Chains A and B, each alone.
Chain A
Amino acid sequence: MDTPIIEFDRVSKIYSSGGGPITALHDVSLRIAAGEFVALIGPSGCGKSTLMRLIGDLEQPSGGSVRVKSKTPEQARRDRDYGIVFQAPVLYDWRTVSRNVELPLEIMGRPKEQRRERALSLLRLVGLGDFADAYPHQLSGGMQQRAAIARALSFEPSILLMDEPFGALDEITRERMQLELLNIWSGANPRPTVIFVTHSIPEAVFLADRVVVMSPRPGRVQRVIPVDLSRPRTYETREDPRFFALVTEVRECLRTAE
């Protein structure tokens, strides 16, 4: 691997709680290459969201080191190296869809016309071109999450952090969104590195180049499974025998992890 864009070196994270310290992550080492799509999967309490938040400097490690683009996560955050998408869309309901997408650009002080132009082109990319001036509450859950993805991409970050972004959507919308996310990702130039936290095994296999299987108590990396399905992935990918084989492999791995 060339110089990794994200590097975890023997990282641990311990929370103090009323009942004594809780080890959320134990001795995690992981390297992620630029442009890679990595899915983090594991049962609740395996620390997959914590791992993602360490990259984003939304939490700090208790031990070991995290490097993002060869910098501290804090420096990477200050350099606006990543965009983030949560499980809830977290759109600000007093802003139109377009102005939600413009929010990071406003904070970064980009000129108004440029912001609007960028927002409109991104909204077209995620299929919301006609909804630029609507308010979030006028959109369905799936549409809101698409707007949140557009917002995360608005300032062209080199890393995209996604914390169960499709977890609240119904299965049909979810499969469509997975396909759209891959289209957006492969259409972006340069391709961002994606860290995608999920509970869903088929989702992880369908999207990722590598699936990082994590185990709980204490959270650690059980195994990293490379996904050798060809791209672009389509609806047919889900019917590929290799897809089933990989899903089974991840499932087996999760079972032994318990």
Chain B
Amino acid sequence: MRATTIRQQISTPARVGGWLRAFWPPLLTFLLVIGLWEAAVRGLSIPLYLLPAPSQIVATFMERPGYLLRIGLATLSNALAGCAIGCTLGALVAALCVRWPIAADGIVPLAVAASAVPIIALAPLMGIWLGSISPASKIGVVAVMTFFPTLVSVYRGLISPRADALLLMRSYAAPPRDVFTRLRAPAALPFFFSALRVCTTLSMIGAVVAEFFGGPQNALGVYIKTQAGILRTREAWSAILVACLLGLAFYLLVLVAERIAMPWRKEQ
């Protein structure tokens, strides 16, 4: 029997069934919550400035989708840039820590501690350091927020190969470069992606919240804060909707990249 046939036999029905099973319950729950929300707002006559109904939020979004998406993308690009910088530096420092264990002893425990600290609190200071209007301060917040979890996770991945796997490399008299590229780095890939998934959400949060402390007019956080400040709740919500959609899109992008980068994990 060929391996491919076995693979298909086992996983094709399981995969389709699994998708259906995994997909429907959250979708139904989501629709239910939206329905309840809509009914509550209408039934209880909740004033618009307190909580608009989902239908009103969508209608507000549809009035100016181009503008909202444009300011959304401005914020998303800060999130992406910050995340790219933070994750790349985090992975690099993790690699250095594996190369020089002395550095790891000093850096890794601090990074673990830093991962538990609310770095978002730095946002107002970043405005002072990098300019409160410029995107640099938002990118800076996101980069710092994503740096530590990536560093910790990738470091754990790089040291995850078991003793036997390393002895095997030794038995081939493999140079350190090969041990890194053919063993440590691929072993760290799942750790990197799980960090990246956390970092996508962190970076959207970071980018939006950083804009609460100032930023250009055309930015999601600034827009939400301004609209909420003058009790234009519908407008604020329509921007929150955009933040959610873009955050989800970013997350899905990472999931797709993960699937492409790690084909051996498809059926695990």
Q: Footprint of B on A, CB under 8 Å?
A: 56-58, 77-78, 80, 82-84, 86, 88, 90, 92-96, 103-104, 106-108, 130-131, 133-135, 137-138
B105 within 8 A of A: no
Q: Collect the chain B residues with CB atoms within 8 Å of residue A131's CB.
A: 3
16 contacts across the A-B interface (CB closer than 8 A): A56-B171, A83-B171, A84-B167, A84-B171, A86-B167, A92-B182, A92-B183, A94-B187, A94-B189, A107-B169, A107-B174, A130-B1, A130-B2, A135-B264, A137-B267, A138-B267
Query: Chain B 170-196 against A: per-residue CB contact (8 Å), 1 yes, 0 no?
Result: 111110001000110011010000000
In whole angstroms, how far apart are the Cα atoms of A228 and B168 in the complex? 34
- Interfacial chain B residues near A96, Cβ < 8 Å: 264
Q: Is the CB of A80 within 8 A of B173?
A: yes
In the bound complex, do residue B167 and residue A58 qualify as a contact, i.e. CB atoms below 8 Å apart?
yes
Return B159 CB to nearest CB of chain A, in Å: 16
- Alpha-carbon gap, A150 to B228, bound state (A): 67
Interface presence of B268 (CB below 8 A): yes
**Docked complex Cα distance between A86 and B167 (Å):** 10
Total cross-chain contacts (CB, 8 A): 65
Q: Does B64 contact A (CB under 8 A)?
A: no
Docked CA distance A106–B177 (Å): 13
User: Interface residues of B, CB < 8 Å — how many?
Assistant: 27
Q: Which of A80, A90, A104, A137 contacts B165 (CB 8 A)?
A: A90
Contacts of A107 in B (CB 8 A): 169, 172, 174, 178, 182
Please tell me if the beta carbons of B168 and A90 are within 8 angstroms of each other in the complex.
yes
Q: Is the CB of B164 within 8 A of A104?
A: no
Extra contacts besides A135-B264, A138-B267 (8): CB < 8 Å: A56-B171, A77-B173, A80-B173, A90-B164, A92-B165, A94-B264, A107-B174, A107-B178
Residues of B within 8 A of A92 (CB): 165, 182-183, 186-187
Contact partners of B171 in chain A: CB under 8 A: 56, 58, 77, 82-84
B6 interface residue, CB < 8 Å from A? yes
A93 with B264, Cβ < 8 A, contacts A78-B173, A103-B182, A106-B182 known: yes
* Cβ-defined contact, B170 with A77, below 8 A: yes
Interface flags for B199-219 (1: CB within 8 Å of A; 0: not) read: 000000000000000000000
Q: Which residues of A contact B162 (CB under 8 A)?
A: 90
Given contacts A94-B189, A94-B264, are A84 and B3 in contact (CB under 8 A)? no
Q: Please report the C-alpha to C-alpha distance between residue A75 and residue B268 in the assembled complex, in whole angstroms.
A: 41
Q: Chain B residues near A94 (CB, 8 Å)?
A: 186-187, 189, 262, 264
Q: Give every chain A residue within 8 A of B1 (Cβ-Cβ).
A: 130
